[in-house]
A and B are shown apart, each in its own frame.
Chain A
Amino acid sequence: MASSTTGEKKILTLKGGDNEEFILEESLVLQSELLKNMVKEERVSSIPLPSIKSKTLVKIIEYLKKHAELTPSNKEEFKNFEKEFVNVVLEELLDITVAVNYLKINGLLEFCCQAVADRIKDKSVEAVRKIFRIESDFTPEEESEFRKETPEAFEGDLDDTTN
C-alpha cells in the first residue's frame, strides 16, 4: 500500500490483534519509539500489532490524542484524564502496560508502572502470585520464615484480591 495523505497530514493504519483497523495521523504515533522507527525506516502506512488487543489499542490511541493536545493551560484537565485512564481493572491496566512497554511510549510507560505499583503495594504475597501468574517455589516453612524475619512487612490490611 502506498503512503496515503490527506492534505499535508500523513495517515497511518494500526491493526489490532483482532484485525480491527485504526486510522490515525502519523504524527500521533511518533510518541511511540517503536512505531517512529518503523515509519521512518520502512515508510510503511499500515502496521500490524497482533499482540495488542483492540480494546487496549483504543485506550492507548485515546491517550496519544489527549497527550498531543496537552498545553500549559489544560494541564489540570490532562491530570484528571490520566487518573481516569488508569482507573480500570488491574488485568486491563497490565495489558496496557505490556503494550506500552512494547510500543516504547516512555512517558506513558512510567505513568502506567507507577499506577501498577500503587495498585499492588498493599497486596498480599498470594495476590501478587495470582496477578503475575507466578508459581511459588518456597516451602510453607520457608514462607513462615519471611514473616518471622520481617514481621512489619506483613502487618496491616493486606489486599488478597487480584483486581
Chain B
Amino acid sequence: MCDETASLGSCTLPGDAMVEILLRLPVKSLLRFRAVSKSWYGFLNSPDFIQMHLRHSQQPLHEKLLRVSNRGPRDTPTISFFSVDPTVTVNADDIDDGVDGYKNNNDLYSSSVVDLPFPSSPDDEVRIVGSCNGLLCVHFNRTSNIILWNPATRKYRFLGPPDNSVSFYCDPFFPYIMLGFVPEINDYKVVKVPSSSRKHVDAKVWVYTLSSDSWEEMGAVYLLPKGGSAVNLNGCLYWMSYNCDNGRDIVTSFDLYKQVFGQIMVPNSDSITDFTIKKLVVLKGCLSMIIYSENGLIVDHYEVWMMNEQQGVSWTKRVDFSPFSKLARPVGSWRDSEIVFGYPNGLSHELLSYNPFTKRAQSFQRRSSVGGFKVINYVESLESVEGS
C-alpha cells in the first residue's frame, strides 16, 4: 500500500482510504479524474490500479450483464449494459408459472445503451463473440474482421489477419470465436475454430495473442462447435462440440497457456435423450453443465452437473429443479452461483436470475424484443486493448 500512497500524492485523505474510494468509481469518472494531477494520472494508469479495479468490478455485487438485441439480421445490434441489486430476491416458489403475479423489479436495475465506436458497414452483421475482464470480442460476419473492444474506455483494436491468410478466411460458415484471459502471462488470446466439417481441410484453428499482436496457426480439431457461448475458466476455454464420427456431444477444452486441446465426456445422465440440450456455465468457480430436455417447446426439468477435479475429471449432479416457466431457457450464469434464464412473457422477453443452491430468484428486464437476444457477462474495467 505504501507505493500507492506515494504515487497518489498529498490529499486530505490517507492514501489507502483514497484508493478504496477510487476503486469504487465507474470507469467514466476515473478517465476524467486522470486530469486531477500528474500523480493521479500516473496512479490511475498504473497496471496495479487497473488490476485492483478489475478485481473490485468482478465481485458478484458489481457484475453486469450485457444484452445484445438484433431487430433483424442486417441490423446494427443494440447493446445495453445493466446491473441489478443482488440483495433483492424472492423465494422461487413464489414465482408463478405465468410469472405475471410476480412483481418485476424494474426499479432495481440500472441500464445504459452503448454505441459501437468503430465503423461498420450497414450491410454487415456484428456479433459479440466473447467477453472477458471488461474486453469484448466483436466479429463482423461479412468481412470476417475481428475487433477487441473495451466499451468503458471506448478503446478498440482491429485484429489484423495473419500475413499468409488464405486459410484464415476459408471457413464458409461463421467461425466459432472465443476470447480468454491467460493468467500465467497476464495476456489475452482469441481462438478461432472452424465451424464447418472436416471435409474442409483448409480450415484451421487460429490463435491470436494480444501482447504480440499476432496470429498462430494450429492443427485442426475435427470436432464441430455446437454454438452457444464458450466458458473461460482458470486459463482454459470450454465449449460444447459434436463429434462427427460417433455423433456424440463432447466438451472441448483449450488450455490457453500451453495451447493444447482436450476433451471431456458429457455427464452420464439418465435424462439425456435426443432432445437434450447441454449448456456450459460457471457455478461456484466450477465448470458446470445445465442439462434440460426440450420436448417440443416445453421444458419440464433441469439438471445441474458440476465438474469435480479433485477425483480426476468427473461430473457430479448437484441439483435438479423444475422450471418456473415452461418456456424458460438458461442463457448464462453470473454472481458466482446464479443461473440466468430467459423466457418470453406476452410480447416481451424477461430475464430471471436463479440461485439453484439457495432457491432464491430475481426477475428483471422486461423488454419487448421482436428479434433474438443474447445475454453476455460483463464487468467494467480499465483493461487496455493495447497489449502493453
Binding site for B on A (CB under 8 A): 94, 97-98, 101-102, 109-110, 113-114, 116-118, 120-125, 128-129, 131-138, 143, 146, 150, 152-154, 158
| CB-based contact B17/A113 at 8 Å | yes
Kindly provide the distance from the CB of B134 to the nearest chain A CB, expressed in whole angstroms.
16
Kindly provide the distance from the CB of A38 to the nearest chain B CB, expressed in whole angstroms.
19
Kindly provide the distance from the CB of A105 to the nearest chain B CB, expressed in whole angstroms.
12
| CB-based contact B33/A125 at 8 Å | yes
Query: Who on chain A is nearest to B38 by CB?
Result: A137
| CB-based contact B154/A152 at 8 Å | yes
Closest 9 CB pairs of A and B: A117-B24, A153-B31, A132-B11, A101-B17, A153-B32, A113-B20, A146-B35, A121-B29, A150-B31
A145-B266 Cα distance, complex, nearest whole Å: 55
| CB-based contact B36/A129 at 8 Å | yes
A131-B18 Cα distance, complex, nearest whole Å: 12
Kindly provide the distance from the CB of A89 to the nearest chain B CB, expressed in whole angstroms.
14
From known contacts A109-B20, A153-B32, infer whether A129 and B13 are also in contact, taking CB-CB under 8 Å.
Answer: no
A150-B29 Cα distance, complex, nearest whole Å: 11
Binding site for A on B (CB under 8 A): 9-14, 16-18, 20-26, 28-29, 31-38, 40, 153-154
* A114-B24, A129-B37 given; 13 more Cβ-contact pairs under 8 Å: A94-B12, A94-B13, A97-B21, A110-B20, A121-B26, A123-B29, A129-B36, A131-B12, A133-B12, A134-B37, A150-B32, A150-B154, A153-B29
Q: Which residues of B contact A102 (CB under 8 A)?
A: 14
Q: Please, could you name 5 A-B residue pairs with CB atoms under 8 Å apart, sorted by A?
A: A110-B20, A113-B24, A117-B21, A134-B36, A146-B35
Kindly provide the distance from the CB of A110 to the nearest chain B CB, expressed in whole angstroms.
7
| CB-based contact B25/A120 at 8 Å | yes
Say which residue of A117, A143, A152 sits within 8 Å of B25 (CB atoms). A117
Which of B11, B18, B29, B36 has the largest count of A CB atoms less than 10 A from its CB?
Answer: B36
From known contacts A128-B36, A133-B11, A134-B11, infer whether A98 and B20 are also in contact, taking CB-CB under 8 Å.
Answer: no
Kindly provide the distance from the CB of B322 to the nearest chain A CB, expressed in whole angstroms.
28
A135-B39 Cα distance, complex, nearest whole Å: 11
Q: Which residues of B contact A121 (CB under 8 A)?
A: 25-26, 29
Query: Who on chain B is nearest to A156 by CB?
Result: B28
| CB-based contact A125/B24 at 8 Å | no
By secondary structure, the A interface counts as helix
A24-B11 Cα distance, complex, nearest whole Å: 33
Kindly provide the distance from the CB of A151 to the nearest chain B CB, expressed in whole angstroms.
9
Q: Which residues of A contact B28 (CB under 8 A)?
A: 152-153
Kindly provide the distance from the CB of B154 to the nearest chain A CB, expressed in whole angstroms.
6
Q: Which residues of A contact B31 (CB under 8 A)?
A: 150, 152-153
Kindly provide the distance from the CB of A92 to the nearest chain B CB, expressed in whole angstroms.
13
From known contacts A122-B29, A134-B37, A152-B154, infer whether A98 and B21 are also in contact, taking CB-CB under 8 Å.
Answer: no
Q: Which residues of B contact A122 (CB under 8 A)?
A: 29
| CB-based contact A120/B29 at 8 Å | yes
From known contacts A134-B40, A152-B154, infer whether A146 and B34 are also in contact, taking CB-CB under 8 Å.
Answer: yes
Kindly provide the distance from the CB of B6 to the nearest chain A CB, expressed in whole angstroms.
15
Query: Who on chain A is nearest to B40 by CB?
Result: A134
| CB-based contact B25/A137 at 8 Å | no
Kindly provide the distance from the CB of B53 to the nearest chain A CB, expressed in whole angstroms.
12
Q: Which residues of A contact B153 (CB under 8 A)?
A: 150
Q: Which residues of A contact B37 (CB under 8 A)?
A: 129, 134-138
Q: Which residues of A contact B36 (CB under 8 A)?
A: 125, 128-129, 134, 136
Q: Which residues of A contact B9 (CB under 8 A)?
A: 134
A83-B39 Cα distance, complex, nearest whole Å: 33
| CB-based contact A138/B38 at 8 Å | yes
A115-B21 Cα distance, complex, nearest whole Å: 9
From known contacts A129-B36, A146-B34, infer whether A101 and B29 are also in contact, taking CB-CB under 8 Å.
Answer: no
From known contacts A132-B12, A134-B9, infer whether A98 and B17 are also in contact, taking CB-CB under 8 Å.
Answer: yes
Kindly provide the distance from the CB of B20 to the nearest chain A CB, expressed in whole angstroms.
4
Q: Which residues of B contact A97 (CB under 8 A)?
A: 13, 17, 21
| CB-based contact B21/A138 at 8 Å | no
Query: Who on chain B is nearest to A117 by CB?
Result: B24
A124-B29 Cα distance, complex, nearest whole Å: 9
Which of B14, B20, B21, B29 has the largest count of A CB atoms less than 10 A from its CB?
Answer: B21
Q: Which residues of A contact B21 (CB under 8 A)?
A: 97, 113, 116-117, 120
